[in-house]
């Protein structure tokens, strides 16, 4: 007589499976929350700056990095939900860098079902020929890319050019200009192109880099490293990135406060005569809420244990 045996699951195995299911459900929930947050922040930036309008053709510049992949993915999601119609075309500039895998992006974009164009231009050789070894290549590389992308936008009939810069990029640019260029200048969410023919938009202006990093891992984007700027370890931008990371760790909320300040500017309290008419400023006897408050308590001062010091004691 044949006997049959029935597999018995031990309590430890059952408990392990339950824990694994709970962990998987938690991860799925967090990933869904991340996607919703990115859609909300990108949608908010688009609305705040009126970046995309009905009938627009948006050229999404796809570098192969995590940020531009995330931008394309979120814009495609929002396009399905938007009350207006706009077209998307993904464009990659193949700069002929060594070891660049030319087959990855066409395969990915074909599978995604989005219109795309690959522009082949050997800017890598130009940059390597003109920039001495060890010097920063970003400036020349950026200028060459910009001119090519403007031309491609014309050829494709795109009136909006979308870039994947996020909140951290914007802040880093602000500090770079201030520390090394002597300018209070950032990276706006929307501006007119150098040639005056296009509008350049940064829909991820409100998104943190850590969110694009995690989103890229969740989605499994086929990341392509850059052998030009990405290979330079001594960049000033990396110094600024490290400084911001340290602030975020030691002083939570500081980075958010600085970013908010970019949208809350008081030209009369700076020192640029091109932005405010200091030369023509005269006392007119009218109360002005934006007037001088030099004698008031500083808004960011730390209260002392001695309370407020009377003006007469100073």
Residue 300 in marked binding region: no
CA–CA gap between residue 90 and residue 105 (Å, rounded): 10
In sign, the C-alpha dihedral spanning 9, 15, 21, 24 is negative
Cα separation, 226 vs 126, in Å, equals 16
Question: Rounded to 5 degrees, what are φ and ψ at 37?
Answer: -65, -45
Residue 305 makes CB contacts below 8 A (sequence gap 6+) with none
154 near 246, Cβ under 8 Å? no
C-alpha torsion sign, points 69, 35, 169, 234: negative
Token reading at 116:
């795309």
d(CA 41, CA 278): 37
| CA 177 – CA 172 distance, rounded (Å) | 9
267 phi/psi in degrees, rounded to 5:
-55, -30
Binding residues: 138, 141, 229
- Annotated binding site for [4Fe-4S] cluster: which residue ranges? 138, 141, 229
């Amino acid at each position: 007589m044949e006997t049959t045996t029935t597999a018995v699951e031990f309590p430890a195995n059952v408990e392990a499976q339950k824990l694994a299911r709970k962990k998987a459900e938690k991860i799925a929930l967090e990933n869904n929350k991340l996607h919703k947050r990115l859609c909300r922040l990108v949608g908010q930036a688009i609305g705040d700056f009126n970046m995309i309008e009905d009938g627009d053709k948006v050229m999404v510049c796809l570098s192969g990095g995590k940020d531009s992949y995330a931008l394309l993915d979120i814009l495609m999601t929002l396009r399905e939900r938007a009350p207006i119609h706009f077209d998307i075309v993904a464009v990659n500039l193949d700069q002929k860098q060594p070891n660049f895998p030319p087959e990855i992006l066409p395969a990915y974009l074909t599978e995604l079902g989005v219109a795309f164009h690959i522009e082949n231009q050997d800017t890598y050789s130009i940059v390597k020929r003109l920039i001495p070894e060890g010097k920063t290549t970003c400036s020349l590389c950026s200028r060459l890319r910009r001119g090519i992308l403007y031309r491609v936008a014309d050829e494709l009939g795109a009136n909006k050019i979308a870039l994947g810069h996020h909140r951290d990029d914007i802040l880093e640019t602000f500090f770079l200009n201030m520390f090394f260029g002597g300018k209070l200048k950032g990276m706006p969410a929307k501006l007119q192109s150098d040639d005056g023919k296009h509008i350049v938009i940064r829909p991820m202006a409100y998104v943190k880099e850590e969110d694009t990093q995690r989103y890229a891992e969740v989605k499994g984007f086929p990341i392509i490293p850059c052998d030009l700027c990405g290979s330079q370890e001594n960049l000033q931008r990396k110094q600024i990135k490290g400084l911001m990371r340290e602030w975020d760790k030691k002083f939570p909320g500081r980075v958010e406060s600085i970013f908010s300040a970019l949208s809350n500017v008081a030209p009369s309290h700076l020192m640029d005569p091109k932005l405010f008419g200091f030369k023509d400023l005269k006392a007119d006897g009218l109360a002005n809420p934006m007037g001088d408050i030099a004698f008031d308590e500083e808004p960011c001062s730390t209260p002392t244990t001695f309370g407020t010091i009377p003006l007469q004691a100073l």
